[in-house]
Amino acid sequence: MLIIDCPYCGPRDQSEFSNGGEAHVKRPDGSAEIGDREWGEYVFIRANPKGIFYERWVHSHGCRKWFNCVRDTSTDEILKIYKIDEERPKLDSFKNNVKTPSGEPNLGSGNFTVKK
């Protein structure tokens, strides 16, 4: 279970929040002209990285405000929380814990208890 630091209410339990998926997804311009494939990608495909992930949360059982978050999906560590109108933090300002596609970080994955 995560503790999420709502930028408006402070730290609260994750069960108060709902996840809104990938952040910074832009609706393609000229939707009348673009092909089915490009439109399908916009509708159905979202980033799904193992590692640094930019995502949206909403404080559903609190202030009901949306905000953005950078989280490491390999450890669930929350790296940065920023308001919806703030600039997207640069990717290289975060450390990548995952060396290979299926690699595990040294600490923080569900499997760390079996590691020395």
Q: What is the rounded CA–CA span in Å between residue 2 and residue 78?
A: 8
Q: Counting Cβ atoms within 10 Å, is residue 8 exposed (0-12), middle (13-18) or buried (19+)? A: exposed
Residue 57: name the closest of 5, 110, 111, 1 by CA: 5
Residue 59 in the binding site for another protein (CB under 8 A): no
Query: According to CB under 8 A, which residues from 94 to 113 bind another protein?
Result: 100-103, 108-111
**Residues found in the chain:** 116
Q: Contact region for another protein (CB under 8 A) — 24-32, 38-46, 83-91? A: 38-46
Q: How far is the CB of 22 from another protein (least distance, A)?
A: 8
Q: Which of 24, 64, 76, 93 binds another protein (CB under 8 A)?
A: 76
Rounded to 10 degrees, the C-alpha dihedral 22/27/28/32 comes to: 140
Q: Which of 25, 45, 84, 91 binds another protein (CB under 8 A)?
A: 45
Both tokens assigned to 50:
């193992």
Of the pair 37, 90, the CB lying nearest another protein is at 37
Residues within the interface to another protein (CB under 8 A): 1-2, 14-15, 18-19, 21, 35-37, 39-41, 43-46, 48-50, 53, 55, 71, 73-76, 100-103, 108-111
